[in-house]
Amino acid sequence: MTKDLQAVPAIELRGIGKRFPGVIANHDIDITITSGTIHALVGENGAGKSTLMKILYGVQKPDSGTIAVNGHQVSLSSPSDAIAIGVGMVFQHFMLADNFTVLENVVLGAEKIAGIGDDARNRIRQISDDYGFDLDPDDLVEDLGVGERQRVEILKVLYRGAKIIILDEPTAVLVPQEVDALFDNLRELKDQGHTLIFISHKLDEVLSVADDITVIRKGTTVASVKPAEVNARQLAELMVGSVLPSPSTEGSTVTDKVLLEVIDLELDDATGRPELVDIDFAIHAGEILGIAGVEGNGQTELVETIIGMRRQARGTIMLAGEEISEWSTRRRRETGVGYIPEDRHRHGLLLDAPLWENRILGHQTRPPSVKGPFLNPPGAKADTGRIVSAYDVRTPGITTTARALSGGNQQKFIVGREMSSDPILLIASHPTRGVDVGAQAAIWGHIKRARKAGLAVLLISADLDELIGLSDTIKVILRGKLVATFDPQSVTPQQLGSAMTGADAISEERS
Amino acid sequence: MSRWMRLGLPVAAVVLALVFSGVVATLVLLFTGDDVVGFWRVLFTWPSERDLVDIINMTAILYLSGAAAAIGFRMNLFNIGVEGQYRLAGLFAGAFAAQGLLPGKLNVAAAILVAMAVGALWAGIAGVLRVWRGVSEVISTIMLNAIAGSLIGFLLVKWGESTGNARNTKMMPEDSWTGFFRLFPDVSDGAYHLSLLAPLVGIAFFILVYYTRFGFDLRAAGASESAAVSSGVSVKKMIVVSMLLSGAVAGLIGVPMMFSEAHQYGSAFQTGLGFTGIAVALLGRNHPMGIAFGALIFAFLGQQANLLNILAGVSPDIVNMTQGIIVLSVVIAFEVIRRLATRIEQRQVATQLDAERQGDTALKGASA
Amino acid sequence: MRTFAKMAAVVMVGALALTGCGKTSSEKDNNASGSSSVDVCKGSKGEPKVGVAYDVGGRGDQSFNDSAYRGLEKAVKDLGASCIEAKATTSDNDSIREQRLQTLADQGFNPVIAVGFLYSPAAAKVAKANPNTNFAVIDGYSTTIATDAKNLSDLVFAENEGSYLVGVAAALTSKSKHVGFIGGTHGDLIKKFEAGYVAGVKSIDPKIKIDIQYLTEDPSDAATGFENPAGGKQAATAMYQGGADVVYHAAGKSGLGLFEAAVAAGEGKWAIGVDSDQYLTAAKDQQPHILTSMLKRIDTAVFEFVTAFKEGKVQSGFVNYDLKVDGVGYSTSGGFVDPIKAQIDAAADKIKSGEVKVPEKP
């Protein structure tokens, strides 16, 4: 049945460009998506995938280029335009009201289609049965698991009549079995004539489910391939270009001096449910410990516990031989903890404050920013100037607000700031997430120099190549536990990937 | 972004907001059939010397009230309880001064400390409840206002004495009365001596917020709690400390007038200043200089309201309403220019860096 | 966006606070009822020019301020006076009150009458500065501050004596031997009403149970005390449900809630008004429940003061309006107290003769 449709592509993007102030998000994007296929769009974090999909879904308007859907050129100025022509989107973060039922969530905003009563209920049952979603319209969303919620999101889109469905990183929040179930659902949808656009940076998944793959790098399309023609390694190289980080060639600088030691650390959430279990590790001076894991498996909690923003339920944290378990965040930072936060906008910067005031953040008690109880603006400004030039922060000046800088320059500034005041431990959470390639290379260089200078570095990243390239040791975190340790010299992304998803351990654990 | 723009945009915003409020007030007057011409004539008549003195005094008092609210606002704490804090503080200061335990001006100084302590403690209750039990300070301070009112009634019965139908604390000894700075030879009263507290608080507030570590922590916590926490600010401590500070300044609000005019706490003690202070702080963008400006506008309008009532037959309600519109439009105008300024700045950064990098083909990934 | 939402929340609180603290009753309230429907000051010309500064609540409260207005009205009609009125707000201070009185004097108004004891310190100051203008303060104590001012009068009332009489009426009417009293703010002035009322009730039957409630303990919270019909209704409903069958109020506009509660409570439940003859201004369905009203003849005081001024016979210092000079009394509208009128008048005679001394404090 898909044969005749193939003549007209479901979506054709030609020459799409989009600029944000200070950033070119997309340029010269060309993609052809065949009807009735699963088309994967891969690229690194920050390569421009999400912006592109927002353009296709009408959230943002492109500055240049054309969009054709089923052969007709369209101009989308809002998501409702997209829905009207049969394009739907399932966002990475679910937009569901927890205390509503599935039915209520689905009909919310789409009451015109079949009302809110039995018509709608039957329709939802019908869709659920057709595609094997196994959803009851009257279940409360708060009682559903993550996978089921995702199916509700997909059902919402189908209910609104979408034939083309965009899924933004749908597997980021799923456990492996749920991923498999999702893929079954996607194949079912494809078989019934839907076109699916699947955004991901997880290559093994892409290779297993996609019919076509388009690679996006630095905001533009660099390749279109078939899964059969490439392997994961080749795909990865296409994604990052030729500048794949080479594993540290400078040789080991690891000493036997333990700087950070975490012993039997456990963290509970407000309801007493464990978030971190039996965490044990040590980082030596000159060592980079990489933590690999699917997002949401405890990385954030681990960092926040070490930095003192959350208090452990049990266990000990030692820094340079001193127990710091009960210390305040400030005292820990004063002792020499540099912190590159996962979300720099929320945790690393005062966006509306000038750069030189941001220099003080996190260093409120240490020179050159302060003198006694008073701030020292001249000192802070001078040191901001030093960071700007030493770390190549592209900014018109030190009075520019942090918000005005691009992500890469914000991050370089943060790295420079955190390397000030002689830290002994550097915690780097996703240090190159959402930054441009130039900044990425620079930040890697800075982390390597920190290691060489004898710091202990805790590196958390979702980018396996980054982890393999930089770390001296890699540990894998899964559901709040450190489940495996690898030597980056010998490990492959595939091995890491299966440890991260618990593929080795699933049989025992989930019996 | 040029210095000009940085200074010019806010001024333009305030002017526009004032003009807008004037237009709305005019429309309302036209709608109600009031005397529009009279309204503007009276409003723009240069105040008499006597009224100028009153405006100056009221500006000082409203400044204290605005500063008290602003200290909380600076870190997103909404101390709605300034009202109860300053009234209770006034009662204790009045009752203390009436004891005459210390001689002369020493007694005044001690009474001021009492006022600050009482204000701080009353506000501190809300701070502690917030930190300890997560009770929203908005709710707790509103409740504390009501409790303060009843407590004042009770204590006035216990400590006070009747004068006619009024009930006041005992008169304080005459050597503890503070006088006036005579500003005009023909006006017997002048600026209250203790209205000097306002500029003192203003300077202290300015230095504290912009030149101390504590002030930085305060601003950081207000701008982004998450960033402040990561930087090592103990938000719990900041909440309690800033409530204490806010309350201590609130305690001063009633002091200048009480020591220069009534010399006792009682029926004549002005109420409602705490709420006006919230508006003044909003109008002044929580900035020490801005609050002075806001206080002046409110003092001026408050004074003219009386005249409008008698000379133009316009209800004081209209003036109250105009004050409200000014606050709303200033807040909206500032939000608009904040976004505008951000956009201008980002564009400037982009152009500048693009120019720098001519020929450099490296492109940035989208982080949007 | 989040900060904007928060900002908006503060603005709303600020705006509410502003409107809350600046709340005054519109003069257009209650236009339909009572004698305050026409503004006598508009277009009035002639001497003397009387300036009146009202208390919080303003004209239209159907009780305290309106009583002053009726005196003003009479002065315009009978004496050919002209007048101007100024409003008060709950956020007034002494300086603002001074400015108000001073502005009236500056505009050539003489005499100037301030309604409410809060004006006392301001009047004392302004009277000194304007020796050629006569000032009077209703309920005032200004002459205890400016003791030597010849142009200053305090017009004070024996509210306790009037309240005693309605207390007698309440006691004689109550079948359940259970009555009530609702005060506005718990200050000395309102306690005078309470003291007189309680004494009057007890003079008939010391065993009668008396519920006493004040709407606020905060002496400065006029909004809750005197401009709060909902609070008045709530308090009265509780008293009626608790078995009281006659309730007297001294709570300004809040008393309007008492009348509503009496109607809701049904047949045999009585309310007693205050200051003005509230039977006359009450709604039709409320009238059958208004037993009587304690009359505080502010209208008489205002009229007499203007008359005395016109005749050049102003008495400075305290001017007492007690039962003897009919400065206080009770109303008979509706005829509900006709059967017991003799007993009330007997009580009045005892007070006038000095045989009974009515306490001023509870």
pLDDT digits (tens, 9 = 90+) for A284-324: 999 999 998 877 788 899 999 999 999 999 999 999 989 99
Domain with CATH 3.40.50.300 in chain A: 2-240, 258-344+423-509
* pLDDT computed for residue A23 by the predictor: 58
Q: Taking CB atoms and an 8 Å limit, are C186 and B303 in contact across chains? A: no
User: Residue A192 is encoded by which pair of tokens?
Assistant: 């019934």
Q: Taking CB atoms and an 8 Å limit, are C18 and B323 in contact across chains? A: yes
Instruction: Tell me the C-alpha distance between B87 and C213, whole Å.
Output: 24
Name which of B216, B234, B362 is nearest A375 (Cβ-Cβ): B216
Task: Reply yes or no on whether the pLDDT at B336 is more than 70.
Answer: yes
Average pLDDT of chain C, as a whole number: 86
In the DSSP assignment, the letter for residue A347 is: I
Please tell me which chains touch A, using 3 or more CB pairs under 8 Å as the contact test.
B
How far are the Cα atoms of A2, A39, A70, A165, A359 from residue A36, in angstroms, in the given order?
Answer: 6, 9, 12, 11, 52
The mean pLDDT of C333-357, rounded to a whole number, is: 92
φ and ψ of A366, to 5 deg: -125, 145
Q: Which CATH superfamily is domain A2-240 in?
A: P-loop containing nucleotide triphosphate hydrolases (3.40.50.300)
Query: Which ranges of C142-254 would DSSP assign to H, the alpha helix?
Result: 142-145, 159-173, 188-204, 222-226, 229-241
Q: Taking CB atoms and an 8 Å limit, are A47 and B347 in contact across chains? A: no
Domains of chain C are 34-157+299-323 (3.40.50.2300), 159-296+332-353 (3.40.50.2300)
Q: What is the largest CA-CA distance in chain B?
A: 87
* pLDDT computed for residue A7 by the predictor: 63
Q: Taking CB atoms and an 8 Å limit, are A403 and B338 in contact across chains? A: no
Mind listing the pLDDT tens digit for each residue in C236-266?
Answer: 999 999 999 999 999 988 999 999 999 999 8
In the DSSP assignment, the letter for residue C110 is: B
* pLDDT computed for residue B356 by the predictor: 59
8 Å CB contact between C295 and C277: yes
* pLDDT computed for residue A242 by the predictor: 54
Which residues in chain C are closer than 8 Å to B94, comparing Cβ atoms?
Answer: none
Name which of B226, B345, B348 is nearest A347 (Cβ-Cβ): B226
Q: Does C218 touch chain B (CB under 8 A)?
A: yes
Q: What confidence category does residue B362 fall into, taking pLDDT thresholds of 50, 70 and 90?
A: very low
Which residues in chain A are closer than 8 Å to B367, comparing Cβ atoms?
Answer: 23, 46, 406-408, 434-435
- Cis geometry, peptide bond prior to residue A368 (ω within 30 degrees of 0): yes
8 Å CB contact between B4 and B316: no
User: Residue B101 is encoded by which pair of tokens?
Assistant: 């335990």
Strands (E), chain C: 49-53, 82-86, 112-115, 135-138, 152-157, 178-185, 209-216, 246-250, 270-275, 290-296, 317-321, 328-330
Q: Residue count of chain B, please give it.
A: 368
In the DSSP assignment, the letter for residue C338 is: G
Instruction: Tell me the C-alpha distance between A351 and A345, whole Å.
Output: 7
> Phi-psi region for residue B344, left (φ > 0), alpha (ψ -120 to 50) or beta?
alpha
8 Å CB contact between C6 and B223: no
Residue of C nearest to B154 (CA): C217
Which residues in chain A are closer than 8 Å to B346, comparing Cβ atoms?
Answer: 21-22, 403-404
Q: Taking CB atoms and an 8 Å limit, are B226 and A22 in contact across chains? A: no
Distance from CA of C289 to the nearest CA of B (A): 31
For chains A and B, what is the number of CB pairs under 8 angstroms? 167
* pLDDT computed for residue B367 by the predictor: 37
Distance from CA of B53 to the nearest CA of A (A): 37
Domain-by-domain residue ranges, chain B? 1-34+315-337, 49-314
Residue of B nearest to A25 (CA): B366
* pLDDT computed for residue A304 by the predictor: 93
Partners of A69 in beta bridges: A11, A72
Could you tell me the fold of the domain covering B49-314?
ABC transporter involved in vitamin B12 uptake, BtuC (1.10.3470)
Mind listing the pLDDT tens digit for each residue in B31-78?
Answer: 888 888 888 888 888 888 888 999 999 999 999 999 999 999 988 899
In the DSSP assignment, the letter for residue A101 is: B
* pLDDT computed for residue B268 by the predictor: 79
8 Å CB contact between A9 and A33: yes
Task: Reply yes or no on whether the pLDDT at C26 is more than 70.
Answer: no
* pLDDT computed for residue A323 by the predictor: 92
Mind listing the pLDDT tens digit for each residue in C159-176?
Answer: 999 999 999 999 999 999
Distance from CA of A123 to the nearest CA of B (A): 37
Residues of chain A with pLDDT under 50: 1-6, 247, 249, 505-511
Closest of A156, A165, A162 to residue A107, by C-alpha: A156
Mind listing the pLDDT tens digit for each residue in B185-241?
Answer: 888 788 999 999 999 999 999 999 999 999 999 999 988 889 999 999 998 999 999
Closest of A41, A19, A45, A34 to residue A71, by C-alpha: A34
Closest of B276, B280, B222, B207 to residue B75, by C-alpha: B222
Q: Which residue has the tokens 């890491």?
A: A496
8 Å CB contact between B166 and B100: no
Q: What confidence category does residue B295 fall into, taking pLDDT thresholds of 50, 70 and 90?
A: very high
8 Å CB contact between A28 and A17: yes
Mind listing the pLDDT tens digit for each residue in B305-323?
Answer: 888 888 888 888 888 888 8
Name which of A51, A360, A405 is nearest B216 (Cβ-Cβ): A360
How many H-runs (helices) and E-runs (strands) does chain B carry?
14, 4
Average pLDDT of chain A, as a whole number: 84
Instruction: Tell me the C-alpha distance between C124 and C136, whole Å.
Output: 10
Which residues in chain C are closer than 8 Å to B73, comparing Cβ atoms?
Answer: 10
Does residue A30 sit in helix, strand or coil?
strand
Q: Taking CB atoms and an 8 Å limit, are B282 and C11 in contact across chains? A: yes
Q: Which residue has the tokens 């992500």?
A: A407
* pLDDT computed for residue C183 by the predictor: 94
Q: Residue count of chain C, please give it.
A: 362
Distance from CA of A440 to the nearest CA of B (A): 11
Task: Reply yes or no on whether the pLDDT at C279 is more than 90.
Answer: yes
Closest of A374, A343, A346 to residue A360, by C-alpha: A374
8 Å CB contact between B229 and A309: yes
Q: Does C207 touch chain B (CB under 8 A)?
A: no
Instruction: Tell me the C-alpha distance between B188 and A157, whole Å.
Output: 77
DSSP B28-64: HHHHHT--HHHHHHHHTSPPPHHHHHHHHHHHHHHHH
Element of type H or E holding B5: helix B3-32
Could you tell me the fold of the domain covering A258-344+423-509?
Rossmann fold (3.40.50)
| Beta carbons within 10 angstroms of residue B219's beta carbon | 19
Q: What confidence category does residue C34 fall into, taking pLDDT thresholds of 50, 70 and 90?
A: very low
Distance from CA of B67 to the nearest CA of C (A): 15
Q: Taking CB atoms and an 8 Å limit, are B213 and A26 in contact across chains? A: no
Of the listed ranges A403-412, B80-89, C26-35, C93-102, the least confidently predicted one is: C26-35
Q: Taking CB atoms and an 8 Å limit, are C220 and B152 in contact across chains? A: yes
